[in-house]
């Protein structure tokens, strides 16, 4: 039998090779789609997780001051995860197991055996640590004209003692309970980005009226809180997301557009001393980097 002309043989070979390539691409895409289904993602936590004060507001629950631009929504948007967001402003660790407000169920109820990813920022409201320390140091700073360390002198180790005695065991229990409810999930416990600079910035006193000697005092309290979050995470098999380096230089004393956290006074946020939209976005991006997703 006579062979087909060379140009016919060549065209046939090219067509066959193209078919193999297309088949491989289709098979590869199908395999990838099958191997990487969308994550079932549950977001828990307090106002730093909820993005309280960041627009737009989640209208499904106004009590919780939750934003649809908070870091859980950024993570879900960039990863394609199926998000269940039950974050709530002012939440404490106890609100994981009991109702925070009428009609607002325990946060941990959102987690199940099928959950793939859980993120949370929690602990800052236990013992009123953040609010208590900021109000105490802010009022003391105003009365002292920014001199000395009146807040430290008045309160000593009381905030640290409460963190160690109460917040740490509560965090460890919360994380242990989440691990039991969702043994296959990646649980990420986020630290809190820096609120204050390491040392006093005189130009910041009008926005964050804390005395010179109390700025490092507040910073040390926050560092202690983050340390117990990290310790509880390590002891329960959770991932700790550390912001101590990436949030340096983005505290509440920095300029708009640089800061992640709004100041106590004269800031742009509706809720002072909380992350702005830029801060929530950067928290999401660093969390995705640590978890290797997105």
Q: pLDDT tens digits, residue range 139-160?
A: 999 999 999 999 999 999 999 9
Shared domain for 4 and 102, answered yes or no, is: no
Query: Residue 269's pLDDT band (boundaries 50, 70, 90)?
Result: confident
Give the pLDDT score at 1. Answer: 46
Q: How far apart (Å, rounded) are the C-alpha atoms in residues 156 and 161? A: 9
pTM for this predicted structure? 0.87
Region 191-216: mean pLDDT is 97
Shared domain for 105 and 20, answered yes or no, is: no
Shared domain for 70 and 10, answered yes or no, is: no
Shared domain for 30 and 95, answered yes or no, is: no
SS3 12: helix
More confident of the two residues 229 and 29: 229
Query: Token pair of 114, please?
Result: 């099928």
Judged against a pLDDT cut of 50, whether residue 33 lies above it is answered with no
Query: Token pair of 195, please?
Result: 């609120």
Helices 71-79/277-291 angle, 10° precision = 50
- Angle (CA) 260-130-219 rounded to 5° is 65
Cα-only R_g, the chain: 25
Give the pLDDT score at 34. Answer: 52
Query: Token pair of 239, please?
Result: 């991932």
Region 73-96: mean pLDDT is 98
Give the structural domain span for 171.
38-291
Query: Token pair of 104, please?
Result: 């607002």
Query: Residue 17's pLDDT band (boundaries 50, 70, 90)?
Result: very low
Looking up residue 245, the CATH number of its domain turns out to be 3.40.50.1110
Lowest-pLDDT range of 7-16, 81-90, 284-293: 7-16
Across all residues in the chain, what is the average pLDDT? 91
Q: Which residues are catalytic?
A: 47, 274
291 Cα distance to chain centroid: 12
175-194 burial, b for 16+ CB within 10 Å, e for fewer? beebbebbeebbbbbbbbbb
Judged against a pLDDT cut of 50, whether residue 12 lies above it is answered with no
Four-CA torsion 200, 206, 211, 215, nearest 10 degrees = -40
Shared domain for 192 and 254, answered yes or no, is: yes
Q: How far apart (Å, rounded) are the C-alpha atoms in residues 11 and 227? A: 67
Query: Residue 11's pLDDT band (boundaries 50, 70, 90)?
Result: very low
Shared domain for 57 and 184, answered yes or no, is: yes
Shared domain for 74 and 85, answered yes or no, is: yes
Shared domain for 56 and 184, answered yes or no, is: yes
More confident of the two residues 94 and 268: 94
Q: Domain count of the chain?
A: 2
Shared domain for 5 and 66, answered yes or no, is: no
Judged against a pLDDT cut of 60, whether residue 8 lies above it is answered with no
Judged against a pLDDT cut of 50, whether residue 285 lies above it is answered with yes
Shared domain for 94 and 236, answered yes or no, is: yes
Nearest CA to 121 out of 291, 280, 292, 294 is that of 280
Give the pLDDT score at 20. Answer: 39
Query: Residue 35's pLDDT band (boundaries 50, 70, 90)?
Result: low
Kindly provide the residue ranges of all beta strands, DSSP E only, lying in the chain, ordered along the sequence: 40-45, 82-85, 117-121, 186-190, 239-241
More confident of the two residues 35 and 82: 82
Shared domain for 135 and 145, answered yes or no, is: yes
93-109 burial, b for 16+ CB within 10 Å, e for fewer? bebbeeebeeeeeebbe
Give the pairing of strands 40-45 and 186-190: unpaired
Shared domain for 153 and 191, answered yes or no, is: yes
More confident of the two residues 270 and 23: 270
């Amino acid at each position: 039998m006579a062979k087909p002309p060379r140009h016919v043989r060549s065209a046939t070979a090219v067509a066959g090779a193209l078919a193999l390539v297309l088949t491989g691409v289709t098979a590869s895409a199908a395999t990838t789609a099958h191997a990487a289904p969308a994550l079932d993602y549950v977001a828990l936590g307090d106002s730093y997780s909820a993005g309280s004060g960041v627009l737009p507001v989640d209208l499904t629950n106004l009590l919780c001051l939750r934003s649809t631009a908070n870091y859980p929504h950024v993570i879900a948007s960039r990863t394609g995860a199926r998000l269940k967001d039950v974050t709530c402003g002012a939440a404490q660790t106890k609100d994981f197991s009991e109702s925070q407000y009428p009609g607002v169920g325990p946060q941990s109820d959102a987690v199940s055996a099928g959950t793939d990813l859980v993120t949370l920022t929690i602990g800052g409201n236990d013992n009123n640590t953040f609010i208590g320390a900021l109000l105490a140091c802010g009022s003391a700073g105003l009365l002292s004209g920014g001199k000395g360390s009146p807040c430290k002198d008045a309160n000593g180790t009381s905030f640290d003692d409460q963190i160690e005695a109460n917040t740490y065991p509560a965090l460890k229990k919360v994380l242990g309970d989440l691990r039991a409810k969702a043994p296959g999930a990646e649980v990420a416990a986020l630290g809190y980005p820096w609120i204050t600079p390491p040392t006093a910035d005189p130009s910041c006193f009008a926005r964050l009226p804390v005395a010179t000697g109390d700025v490092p005092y507040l910073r040390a309290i926050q560092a202690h809180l983050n340390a117990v979050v990290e310790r509880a995470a390590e002891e329960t098999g959770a991932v700790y997301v550390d912001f101590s380096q990436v949030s340096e230089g983005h505290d509440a004393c920095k300029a708009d557009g640089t800061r992640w956290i709004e100041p106590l006074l004269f800031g742009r946020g509706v809720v002072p001393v909380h992350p702005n939209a830029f801060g929530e976005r950067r928290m999401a991006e660093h969390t995705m980097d640590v978890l290797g997703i997105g």
